[in-house]
Structure 1
Amino acid sequence: MSSKVSPTRHPKPLKRGKACMNCRFLKIKCDGLKPICGPCQLHPRDDECEYADGPGRSRTKVLEDTVTRLEARLLELENPEGSTPSVTLHDPYQSYKAHRLSKSPPLHLPDSPLVFSPLSPFSPTSTASSLPSGSSGSSTSPNQPGPIPTSSVGFEEPPISSLQTSLDNFLPHAQQFGFFLHAPTFRASALLAFPLGHPSRPTPGLLNAVQLFGVHFSQPDSPTNQERPLLIRTLQHVATDLLGGHPNKIIHTLQAEVLLAYYFLRVGSLLEAKVHTGSAISLALGSGLHKIRSANVTSPSTIAIINDQPYALPPPINDLQEAERINGFWSVLMLHKFITVALEAPPHVCGALEAPGMQIDTPWPIDMDNFQEGIFPQELQSNSTVRAFLNGYLGDVGEGASHFEMAAKAAILFHRAAHLTGQWSPTLAPRDRSAYEAAARSVNVLIDAFRNKLGPMPRFNTRDPSIRTTLLTHALIDAASIKLHCIFAYAYSSSKQICLSAARNMVNYGDLNLQELGHMNPIIGNLWMSANLIFVDEISRVRQVKETYPEAAAIEDELMESYRHGLNAMSLFSHEGKLMPECYAYSYLPEHQLSKVQDSFAAI
């Protein structure tokens, strides 16, 4: 049986042609082999072997055409009178030049909303967005329009009537969500008859963040399909505002990041809340806001490089701008304290603002409602603001002190107590135990001194915006006592009594109608939860000794009354946000938290 042998297949000969582009450029002999000629095979180069007669234009040919086109365009620009421009540009703001010449631009009129010209696809934004922060538009004056970021995200500004409604919904509660700008000035600038992104108005990201809160507060009255697009628009603008030339882009973006962090904290998007808190901390520290009026000689923080020179945040142009920067730093610090306590496990309660070597020199904040020129004396300098406070220098507390300052100090003590709780362990070495006890005693003394100066909860008109901040301050200082002592409440009677006293104070509002308070800082759920858990634990203990302790029934009735007050507060504000974490563990959604308290009570 014979087998057939298949004929041997010879490789197809390579095509030969004219010299390749590399050989022509180097002026060497080319054998014309395709796809790669002999010289290019022997000496490989970065440029691929290309032929002018290929199926498409070679890369070299494309570059040659580009050079030719640019040379023609350069000649056209050098001789504008002798050539016809290939692209005709127009000024989309020509109708508003008269407004820009005015020192006090007119406000929008609700009955006649302005209609702005559509942005050109060749607007300055497309050029500015490709440049580093500060390298474009940094010299823009307040009376000249800067880059308009809306072209990069494809959204137009909402109607003026919608903006006015959002401002009315948000500004009365703005302080509870870290709003540190001067509200009347912000409102006036937001309603100016200039396009979105104009330097005389807030940055687009901040304006949209405020509108987002306004729509969120109006639920369920507003259409349910408005909030999500507003959130997307806000995130897009905040991500690009620093690339533009707005004169207030640093501070306004910082404000927008703080608002976004509180928004995500309120709706239960915890990872996003941490992300925007981190961005706010980076902006505040990177801009040197922790060193305002510092008594220490320090070089300004570099925020950009322009013409190979470091560029820092310009000095404030007036007292109001300086006050906004000071308040901005403390708003970030309070947000940082709340986020770390609420979202981190006790051993991890710390953060960038407590890093080794970090020193805060910025003066304490002021109440913007009471702002006046000259509120900061020219000779005022500050040094180690937080460290001096933790070392026992209370400063202004109580009557006559700034409500913002008292809230910031209470937040620092609340965070410090939570941090110490996370450092405790029954297995601490004797030296570590002694260090912990000394630190805990120091913080406990400071909490008591602060509470004594703070005094009892004053009687306020619920329409007074400061009532919310004052209520938050009292709740924070009571929660600080609970944080510091709750881990010892089962072993030490004194710690248990401190926790009970603080929990009673937290839910004792007298004749204050909580329903009239409006929107509160999202951390308030965390504080009320800690008080309710103390009541549940104590009610359980009292019931266990009810048979042998005659006064147990009366004590239980008193505890039940306090528990109902706390539960009522939680029920009223459970719709306020999605974050109400318990004092011992991690975070839960409000429905789960509320049911957890009720389930814990039912179990006893």
Structure 2
Amino acid sequence: MHTQRCDGNKPACGRCLANGRPDDCEYAVGGEVTRSRLLEENVALLEARIRELENPNETTPSVRLHDPRRQDAPAAGSSRGAAPIAPNTQILVPGIPQLASPGSYAAPAQQEAQTLVQTFMAHASQLGLFMNPTRFMRAASLPRGAPGCLDDALMNAVYLWGSRLSSSNTLRGRETYFSANAVQAAAAGCALTPQPNGPVSNNVLYSAQTSVLLANYFLSAGRFLEGKYHWLAAVALVTGSKLHQLDIVALVGARMDPISIGERVHAFWTVFALDKAWSAAMNGPPSICQRGRAGILVTTPWPLATEAYEQGTILPSRGYNYSIHDFVRGAPIDESADDFSRLAIHAKAAALYESALYVSSQYRHDMPNRSEFLAQFTALDTHIEGFHRLLAGIRNRGPDDTRELLTSRTLVCVAAIQLHSAFAAQQSTSRQKSLGVAIAAARALDLVDLNQYRHLDSVVAMLWGTVSRALLEEIRRLIQSAAPVRQEDVARITTSLDRVMGAMSSLAYNSPLMATQLSEIQQARASLN
């Protein structure tokens, strides 16, 4: 019997769409690795690394981390392409610079280190810090090798971001050095040996935190391969250590303190948001998926504000049984500014963005289940609109909250643009919806004074690029229209575009990706004249 081959369309092939099973599309084209296999590879390798961190006194060989997308020949007697190697052997990560002396470490002077850490902490909420800030600062201030101090990989990741965002040319000049140190230490797994009486799983948190910081750094630099390597490492660490299925009651029974519980909850949701937002920005499927056979069940409760855990609260006051699966499906929930959590709204906004990519990518002119698609489309459109309205109504927040509101509102606006992209070229309703949310994204900039900040979440560069292109497309349509055009309509769109491009310009100095996106928008705008 003839078997129809996959046509390679993403995120679901034509065959799976025709059979009404887009969620189950797992076919690998050419040398590619399917989403589930890629995650399995990362999880298997990093679970072994987690066991090493949890049991430092065992004399098992170290695990060799590799890029699972490479099609290396499997080791004899093994189904995996990674073989164990002796401890302390230098580990090479594909495409990432290495230092000549992997064991060497030249820490910055004390005053330099303090400046770098302070610069990092000023922007930590947008860089992916999920550890408790007070404990983190205390651990960062300890001498290297002291009980409870941060490991070399994490400290260098902090120094790396501190140098990137520093106003000192001297410290900025050390960025490459800190980058190489952080990457090599992370790849080699140079984690701090836990103290016998301490929570040894903190080493896993350190590794995951390092991976998140490095992922955001390389993505912000426009170095997507390296960024995705660290992002997938973070995904594999949190899922491999079951942080997506935390049993909070059991942790309380084991006498884990609320702040430590909060760090583990925040670790998962930070990686979840990173995975959802960037997979959508790069037009690909997420690793932490809620659909089809590759779906991952998430039972970890929504993250609370850091202050809530510090005050002893460990569970939401309401909606504990309200999961990410319920949210994505659009199930109603009573949200309130009283339960405001920066990370919760970010994770929800990122999930909507990824869902919009998935739904819009399913559309085909000749699709057999058109009515089912339209119902799904309408439900998600209503959900996105309602969530954006909720975010727009939150007022009188502190600087970090306001900055996160801008990021989350922009995610939601771009989710709407992405969802309507399937129809915007042919239907005026979708075109007007895309234009309206693009203008709303520009208007959200009124929330913050970007002169006070040097950085926003790395994905914002991609989001503003999408917003700008939506505005440019409408300007182009008006210019080419045979019908009379009202100048106030053009001015409204142009003003919004100026606002977004001005914001991109103010942040481009510290984000090569932002600079690249801005340059592309400038060229596209110049071509209109």
Is 1:530 aligned with 2:466? yes
Match of 2:246 in 1: 292
AA at the equivalent of 2:305: D
Write the distance in 1 (CA, Å) between the matches of 2:281 and 2:113. Answer: 32
* 1:339 CA displacement: 2.0
Is 1:210 aligned with 2:158? yes
Is 1:222 aligned with 2:170? yes
Give the structure with higher Rg (CA). Answer: 1
Match of 2:420 in 1: 485
Write the distance in 2 (CA, Å) between the matches of 1:532 and 1:379. Answer: 40
Alignment of 1:35-54 (within 5 A): none
Write the distance in 2 (CA, Å) between the matches of 1:319 and 1:475. Answer: 32
Match of 1:136 in 2: 56
Is 1:446 aligned with 2:396? no
Is 1:251 aligned with 2:205? yes
Unmatched tracts of structure 1, length 5 or more: 1-128, 139-146, 301-313, 581-589
Alignment of 1:280-319 (within 5 A): 280-293=234-247, 317-319=256-258
AA at the equivalent of 2:141: L
Alignment of 1:50-199 (within 5 A): 132-137=52-57, 153-192=103-142, 194=143, 196-199=144-147
Write the distance in 1 (CA, Å) between the matches of 2:137 and 2:192. Answer: 22
**Equivalent of 1:455 in 376, 380, 392:** 392
**Equivalent of 1:274 in 202, 225, 228:** 228
Is 1:328 aligned with 2:251? no
* Cα distance, 1:353–1:197 mapped onto 2, change above 3 Å: farther
Alignment of 1:539-550 (within 5 A): 539-545=475-481, 548-549=483-484
* 1:423 CA displacement: 2.4
* Cα distance, 1:561–1:384 mapped onto 2, change above 3 Å: closer
2:277 is paired with a residue of what secondary structure?
Answer: helix
Is 1:435 aligned with 2:372? yes
Write the distance in 2 (CA, Å) between the matches of 1:165 and 1:243. Answer: 24
- The 4+ residue runs of structure 1 with deviation greater than 6 A are 147-152, 378-381
AA at the equivalent of 2:55: S
Is 1:417 aligned with 2:371? no
Deviation string 1:296-355 (CA, Å, 9 cap, x unpaired) is: x9xx9xxxxxxxxxxxxx9572100000000010000011112212223xxx33334346
Write the distance in 2 (CA, Å) between the matches of 1:135 and 1:597. Answer: 51
Deviation string 1:196-221 (CA, Å, 9 cap, x unpaired) is: 24331122211221111111111552
Write the distance in 2 (CA, Å) between the matches of 1:235 and 1:570. Answer: 28
Match of 1:108 in 2: none
* 1:132 CA displacement: 4.1
1:510 is paired with a residue of what secondary structure?
Answer: helix
Is 1:597 aligned with 2:521? yes
The answer on whether the counterparts of 1:294 and 1:383 sit within 8 Å (CA) in structure 2 is no
Write the distance in 2 (CA, Å) between the matches of 1:189 and 1:216. Answer: 22
Write the distance in 1 (CA, Å) between the matches of 2:246 and 2:323. Answer: 11
Which one has the bigger helix percentage?
Answer: 2
* 1:415 CA displacement: 1.1
Deviation string 1:560-591 (CA, Å, 9 cap, x unpaired) is: 212211221222222232335xxxxxxxxx33
Write the distance in 1 (CA, Å) between the matches of 2:172 and 2:446. Answer: 37
* 1:404 CA displacement: 1.9
Write the distance in 1 (CA, Å) between the matches of 2:393 and 2:318. Answer: 31
* 1:371 CA displacement: 3.7
The answer on whether the counterparts of 1:189 and 1:201 sit within 8 Å (CA) in structure 2 is yes
* Cα distance, 1:199–1:435 mapped onto 2, change above 3 Å: farther
AA at the equivalent of 2:429: S
The answer on whether the counterparts of 1:506 and 1:531 sit within 8 Å (CA) in structure 2 is yes
1:579 is paired with a residue of what secondary structure?
Answer: helix
TM value normalised by structure 2: 0.74
Alignment of 1:321-470 (within 5 A): 321-344=260-283, 348-354=284-290, 356-377=294-315, 382-383=320-321, 385-395=323-333, 397-400=335-338, 401-428=340-367, 430-431=368-369, 433-456=370-393, 458=395, 464-470=399-405
Write the distance in 1 (CA, Å) between the matches of 2:167 and 2:448. Answer: 25
Write the distance in 1 (CA, Å) between the matches of 2:405 and 2:254. Answer: 32
The answer on whether the counterparts of 2:454 and 2:510 sit within 8 Å (CA) in structure 1 is no
Q: Which has the higher contact order (CA 8 A, sep 6+)?
A: 2
Deviation string 1:524-568 (CA, Å, 9 cap, x unpaired) is: 1112111211111111111223x632x522211222212211221
Question: Structure 1 stretch 252-261 or stretch 503-512: which is displaced more?
Answer: 503-512
Match of 1:569 in 2: 503
Write the distance in 1 (CA, Å) between the matches of 2:400 and 2:522. Answer: 32
AA at the equivalent of 2:156: N
Match of 2:513 in 1: 579
The percentage of aligned residue pairs carrying the same residue is 26
The answer on whether the counterparts of 2:277 and 2:351 sit within 8 Å (CA) in structure 1 is no
The answer on whether the counterparts of 1:468 and 1:517 sit within 8 Å (CA) in structure 2 is no
Write the distance in 1 (CA, Å) between the matches of 2:240 and 2:166. Answer: 35
* 1:159 CA displacement: 2.3
AA at the equivalent of 1:367: A
Match of 1:513 in 2: 449
**Equivalent of 1:238 in 186, 201, 205:** 186
